[in-house]
Amino acid sequence: MKSNQHYFKISQQNPEKLLDKFYVFDNKHPDLKKYISNTKEIKNILITIKTLQNKKEETKIVDKYFYELQKVLCGTSNCSEFVCFVNACDNILDSVKNDIDLLKKITEKYFKKRILNEIVPEEWIQAILDSNSSRKKGKCGEIKLLSILQKLGFSEAKTWNDFSTKKKCVVQFSKAFSLKNVRDRLNIKIKTKKQNKDLDLIIKINKKIFIVEAKHLNTSGGGQDKQIAELIEIINLKEKREDIFYIAFLDGNYSNILLDNKKCGNKLKTQRKEIKKYLKNNARNFWLNTKGFENLFFDIVS
């Protein structure tokens, strides 16, 4: 195992691919037909309500279809134009599903502000599902790192007994491997600002233990800057035990921007400065992208 500067340089010299299979969801949604069917059902009821209203039918007859509409609203309704409009009215699906008066008010607005037709294009529904694909990426970074480690001969431990007896293994933070349990069992602090926030992976090889926080970012911004701050905090952690190491892992396009030496604004400049300072001050901590991570663990097992 070489210095953290060595693997940081490898990360700088080997940017992330802009198409990473671990974060690509290019297949059609398996429940696409259900989404289409439910959207058609919503449209048909809305058309019925509008037709009855135009004919000035009795309120109790129209109400029957409002209740029918309320009944068909479900998880697969989120891709319908109507529920998208509910969101545009500062409400959510559950709000109109549980409040008939609110449902009526938003429906009236929908009739006035939007075009109502029977068409439900498959590609339109899939496009909405695609736009929500970022929500699936929560555990993808961990899965990617587990895949890399598996190729290098690491097995995934499920219990503390497995972890203590195996020479080369990896675990995910979980109920058994909670932050409290990890602190107690390994006699370490993991002194982060968010005291109860689990990290992602614990990697063991012989007596060395690596604690990993992994993130995937494509753009900067408020929420993303907080995540970068959390990663920077990881490489500033210190433990008395000399066999404990911390890894801040970042992939995605923002990793390339952060590791580049091009001119930048003050925020990015500060992030780069802090990373370099903390790596220099903490020789047992690492800031890595995919290539840096692969090289570090290849060197350790070789």
> Mind listing the pLDDT tens digit for each residue in 125-181?
999 999 888 777 888 999 999 999 999 999 999 999 999 999 999 999 999 999 999
Specify whether 114 is located in the same domain as 201.
no
Q: Which residues contact 195 (CB under 8 A, 6 or more apart)?
A: 179
Specify whether 19 is located in the same domain as 148.
yes
Specify whether 40 is located in the same domain as 152.
no
Asked whether the beta carbons of 85 and 78 are under 8 A apart, the reply is: no
Specify whether 178 is located in the same domain as 219.
yes
Averaged confidence pLDDT in the chain: 94
pTM as predicted = 0.85
pLDDT of residue 132: 84
The backbone torsions φ and ψ at residue 262, rounded to the nearest 5 degrees and listed phi first, read -70, 160
The number of distinct structural domains making up the chain is: 2
> Structural domain of residue 103, as residue ranges?
32-133
Specify whether 187 is located in the same domain as 122.
no
Q: At what angle do helices 140-151 and 290-301 cross, to 10 degrees?
A: 30
Specify whether 52 is located in the same domain as 145.
no
Reading the block at residue 243, the tokens are: 């066999």
Mean per-residue pLDDT, 191-213: 91
Q: What percent of the chain has pLDDT over 70?
A: 99
Helix ranges, 55-186 (H): 59-72, 81-88, 93-98, 100-113, 122-131, 140-151, 160-165, 179-186
Specify whether 126 is located in the same domain as 244.
no
Please write the tens of the pLDDT for every residue from 208-243. Answer: 999 999 999 987 666 688 899 999 999 999 999 999
